[in-house]
Each structure stands twice: as C-alpha cells, then as structure tokens.
Structure 1
Amino acid sequence: MTTFENASVFGAVHLGHIVIETNRFTDWRRFGTDAVGMHHDDLDTGLMRFRLDDRECRFLLRRGPAEDVVATGWHVDDHATFEQIEARVRAHGVPVVEGTAEEARTRGVERLLRFPGPKGIAQEICATPAVSPEPLRMLASGWVTGDFGLGHVAITTAKPALTHGYFTTVFDARLTDYIDETISGVKLRIRFLRVNERHHSVAVAAVRGLPIDPVRTRVQHLNIQTATLDDLARSYERVHELGFDMALSVGQHTNDRELSYYARTPSGFEWEVGWNPVVIDESTWEPSTHRGISVWGHRPVGRTIIDKLDQFRFGARSLARPERTVPALSGAGVPDDRAPAPR
C-alpha cells in the first residue's frame, strides 16, 4: 500500500449507526422507545429509526426476515479519512459499493460506502452525518456518544484471529484487553478492540479450543451508554414492567468497569445498557487479561436447560456451515499467543 493508505486512521473512526433487519416493528418500537428510552421516528411502512442524540440516525430498522444486525456504520471525521479507508480496502482487492442517495439519506449521512465484513455483517463508512433540527423525545435524559461513537457491538466467532485482523487492517483497531471466562463448562476468550478512546467499539468472543459459534445471530449484543445512573436504573425497571426478557441482571464488568444490564431484543440478540465505563488514556494504557466477565452481578435471568441445549445445538450446526470471513482484509490474523499476562 502507499504511504497515504498506511497512515493510521485510529481516533478518526467512530461507531456511528447500526442497521437491523426485522419484521417485528411493533415490538421493536415498544422496546426501543418505551423500555430502553430512545427517540423514535417512522420513515415509512418499511423503515424506522432510533436516535440517541442530535444525529438523524443511530439505529435504522428495515423490514426483512433476518432478525439480526445486517450492517454496522462507521462515521469518520472527514472526507480524507473516508477516502483513505476506501483506498485501503480497494488496495486489498475487496469490492466496495457506493451507497445510493436514498440509502445515505435514511442513515442520515452525506457519503456512504459499503464493503464485506466478518460474519456477513456489511461494513459501511460514512462522512458528514446530518444533524436533526427536531428536539429529542425520549425517556432517557441523554446518552454518551460524540467522539466515542454510539457504543459497541459484540460478536461471537469461530475465527477470532481473522476477525481481529480485519478490524486492525481496516480501522487500525487496537487491543484494549482480554477476558477469559468459563460459562457452563465452556471456556471463552473475549478480545476487546478500540478505534478511539472508548474502551472498545468491538468485542470478539470465541470458544477456546473448539471452532464453533454458539450464537444464532451475527451479533451477540449491542451496547449503548446512559448519561446517568438514574437513566440506567429507570430503563432496567421499564424493561421488566413491559415484559421484555432480561438476559443478565445488573452487574459490573471486570475490564471496563461499566455498570450494565442485558435485555433480549425482539430479534433475539441482546442489548446492553451501560453506565460509566473507563476511558482509555493512550499514553499509559497497557493491555491485560482479566479472569471473569464481571466483578459482581450479571446473573442469567430465567435461563432454562432448554436454552443451554439450544446454544449447544447452534454450536454444533456451526461446524457444518463455514463462517463468512474476508481473508484479504484479515491478514494473518492476530494469534492468542500475543495475549498479555492476567491482572
């Protein structure tokens, strides 16, 4: 690659929007607006959006059968960064598609480019997000976004090194830390990757020693960050009162120290609402390995033996269907033997 393509884009990339395909619009409207507390806009019968701040779109829901995240959008600081990432992807021989004017409009951006990503999740880069003149109408007092982006996305994979390599190649992602955890006898390793000062914008979880993926959906969970502890507590209460499934109770993570809970969305993947994670100081941060996901809490809620059997069933099925990767953008991957010593 040229010097232009090699220059780091770290810090100029922010998780900007998420595209979800679902046919459960009524349930999603109640979940996003009445339970979580986001601002909601209907575009037409096949599209709706949620807002967290002055940006026109943070979550775009379109009608379709996937019941899953189908694209993640990365907002970049300027057109030069946009063109740098585009040149980088093209230099690796990966096809890119320019978004239509209508696609850019529904995402609330001026420029949109799409290319393949891990697990079949399209990656979109966007420039010049639109600011909405409409005041927010939502139950939460506010959400932490800005230079940190909207939150993070977590995926499970049978190919963690390639997934890590992908985000390093495309966005110059940096390893923040690892978590080793054993759940129901299954050993997991989770990598946390950042593209700016947010502790992580991508979490990559894998079963150690087994090339399986135990989760049906492309994403395991999405995360957004409340402005206040009161917002977190009130949304937790609303999720219960409205009858949505709670996946994990309130708890605190070992690595980013975020206080959070996990609800189950109408599409089946989980939605983490968190508060007050640590902010990375690039001048002093050193990656480490943590034992266990939580300091306290995050207990499974209402999980039955049937749920556990379903997880094993999905894991077994994943052996028969090759996971979609983008080898040209994944390099040689980042092997586990680079893992730092535990704290």
Structure 2
Amino acid sequence: MSTQKPATASVFGAVHLGYIIIETNRFADWRRFGTDAIGMHHDALSPDLMRFRLDDQECRFLLRRGPAEDVVTTGWHIDDHTAFEQIETRIRAHGVPLTPGTDEEAELRGVERLLRFPGPKGITQEIYTTPRVSTAPLRMLASGFVTGDSGMGHVAITSAKPTEIQGYFATVFDARLTDRIDETISGVKLKIRFLRVNERHHSIAVAATAGLPLDPIRTRVQHLNIQTTTLDDVAQSYQRVHELGFDMALSVGQHTNDRELSYYARTPSGFEWEVGWNPLVVDESTWEPSTHRGISVWGHLPVGRTIVDKLAQFRAGARSLTRSEDTVPALSGAGALSGAGTADVRVSAPHRRRGRA
C-alpha cells in the first residue's frame, strides 16, 4: 500500500455528476423511452452503442449492449486539474487502484481523458476534467434540462451498508450531508440520507431499511434523476410516458426536503427514472441538515403496484442477505460527512431556488 498521505484540500464544489453508463440489451425500448417519452437527444453510434444528450456536452448517458440491465458507471466532471489531482492522490494514498481510460473510451464518453476506480455496489466511478462540446444542434422534445454548476441530476441507491457508502463519497469527493428522510412504506421503515458535492441539493441519495441488513432492489441503482427547465416539460413527458405504454412507478408529487416536483417512470432495464423541476439550491452559508418525516408533501403515489410486485421485492431483499455488498472498504471509513452530527431540526425558512440550463 502507498505511504502517501491523503490530499487534505477540499474538492467540494468542484465535483459535478457528468455522465452515466448503462448496460442493456433492450436498445429499441431504451431509444423510445429516452427520446419519445423523456424527450432527450439521441445519437446512434453503432448497433451496440448509443448516447443521450441533455445539453451541449457530447454525452450524458452512454448505453452499451450487455446483460446487466443496470447502471454500471458514473462519471464525475471535475472543475480543474488541481482538484482532479487531489482526488487522484487521495485514492492512491488509500491503496485503491486507478486505471486511465483509453482514447477510445474517452471519445465514447465525450471527454478528453478519464481515470477509473472501484465504487460502492460494483458501480465503477470515473473522473474527468474536460467534456467535449458538440456543435450539432439538439433534437429534443424537452425544451431543456438543468446541468451546469449543479451537475446533471442525481443517483439514488439502496444499501445494507449506508454508513460505508456515505463514508466513501465523503472520502473521495468531500460530500456533505444535506438532510435525511425517515419513511415507512408498506410497513418497512426506510432511512434515506442525501449527500451533496456542490450547490445541488443532492447528487447521491442512499436509502437503507432501518434495522434490517437487506437491500430490496435488484439493480445497483434505485433511480436516476434529471431536472427539466420548465414545469411544462415535466407534465408533457409524464403524459408521453403514459401514452407510449411505459410503466409509471410513482405519480407526480413534491418532495418534502428539496421541494422538487417530479414523477418516477420505470426504465426498460427495471430501475426508475425521475424527471423533476425546480428543486431548491443549497446556500452553504446558512444550510443546516434536518430530518423530514415522509418523502413527499403531496403525490408520489405508487402506480399499478400489485401483490406480485411486492412479493418480488421481498424475494429480492431476502436474496440480498446471501450476497456480499462491495463498499470499497479502503475508501469507506475515513471520511466524516460534514454536518452529520447536526441536530435534527426541520427546515422552515425559505430557500433560494435557481433553474439554469
């Protein structure tokens, strides 16, 4: 193991969710879902590769052919080479291997260079500094999506080891605890923790079943989120999802903590896809973590759930007891989440919101 000391300078604020890689054999369904239902720009690269764009960056979602039917990689845009090297140094100092991406891999992701390293739940993590900008005009049904300083949305995962996952993102990206939600769904108590790496309320959400060491979700991710620039985009894509026959997971509603108005569709690969609008933006000078009871102020009701669905989820949770969850131990114990010890006080003051493409 390396004897280097971890880099101590914080990289908080210099990290942004940049792209997602999904492995699937359901290309035709994913193309219809991404373009005709959600409203993103589509680029076909080959029979085994396609991309979706949200903005001028060449790639926001890379889909490659394979059996996983899941997210396999998250890519993080790092503002500058100094922050990039700080992250590289601290990962190496913890004895975790990094692998440079090949030129071909960088081209597929629309970046100049990248480094790859292991992440929780088997989701590979990649960092890059310079995204490539496309000159081709966007062809989208949506009017636009919010990316920029906030990154492109968030990733939500379920875990039997939430503390280790929180420690991982604190160690690697200096993630901060934004707030918590305690919820009971179908008699199961869930504890959800929301982590931010920049002004976006959260880029990572981690949910765990309180008191039970099981993971009720088959896929590595529970859902992905993207943010539209207008409320009309949410309403129109919600209607398209229904009309095109894709499954809806949760109806339109508004969250208690980030106040985002959204709905959840079920992707062709089985995990959920949240389309949202107008979440609050964290003001670092005043923010204090708090605990909310319940995920929604209103709405977000299950759509079409049957007893068969619930039994399938129970079986998935039971199977999780027999398999080990990878948390990358070398990176999961050293990081202390900023604000983790703050008393639970509900947020009551108004918060700054901003929507920027």
Which TM-score bucket, shorter chain as reference?
A: over 0.9
Contact 1:40–1:48 (Cα < 8 Å) also in 2? yes
Name the amino acid aligned to 2:284. E
Distance in 2 (CA, whole Å) between partners of 1:73 and 1:320 is 30
Q: Residue 48 of structure 2 aligns with which residue?
A: 46
Question: CA separation of 1:204/1:4 partners in 2, compared to 1, >3 Å: closer, same or farther?
Answer: closer
Contact 2:171–2:334 (Cα < 8 Å) also in 1? no
Q: Residue 140 of structure 1 aligns with which residue?
A: 142
SS at match of 1:6: coil
Name the amino acid aligned to 1:186. V
1:130-169 matches, within 5 Å, as 130-169=132-171
Distance in 1 (CA, whole Å) between partners of 2:336 and 2:69 is 31
Q: Residue 15 of structure 1 aligns with which residue?
A: 17
Q: CA deviation at 1:341?
A: 1.8
1:1-343 matches, within 5 Å, as 5-331=7-333, 338=341, 340-343=343-346
Contact 2:115–2:128 (Cα < 8 Å) also in 1? yes
Q: Which runs of 4+ in 1 moved over 2 A?
A: 1-4, 332-340
SS at match of 2:136: coil
Contact 1:48–1:62 (Cα < 8 Å) also in 2? yes
Distance in 2 (CA, whole Å) between partners of 1:230 and 1:311 is 33
Contact 1:161–1:334 (Cα < 8 Å) also in 2? no
CA RMSD of aligned residues (A): 1.5
SS at match of 2:297: strand
Q: Matched residues, percent identical? A: 79
Q: CA deviation at 1:78?
A: 1.1
Distance in 2 (CA, whole Å) between partners of 1:339 and 1:54 is 39
Q: Matched residue pairs, number?
A: 343
Q: CA deviation at 1:3?
A: 8.1
Contact 1:190–1:205 (Cα < 8 Å) also in 2? yes
Distance in 1 (CA, whole Å) between partners of 2:259 and 2:161 is 27
Distance in 1 (CA, whole Å) between partners of 2:146 and 2:304 is 30
Distance in 2 (CA, whole Å) between partners of 1:314 and 1:239 is 26
Q: CA deviation at 1:46?
A: 0.8
SS at match of 1:252: strand
SS at match of 2:51: strand
SS at match of 2:139: coil
Structure 1 runs not aligned, ≥5 long: none
TM-score (norm 2): 0.94
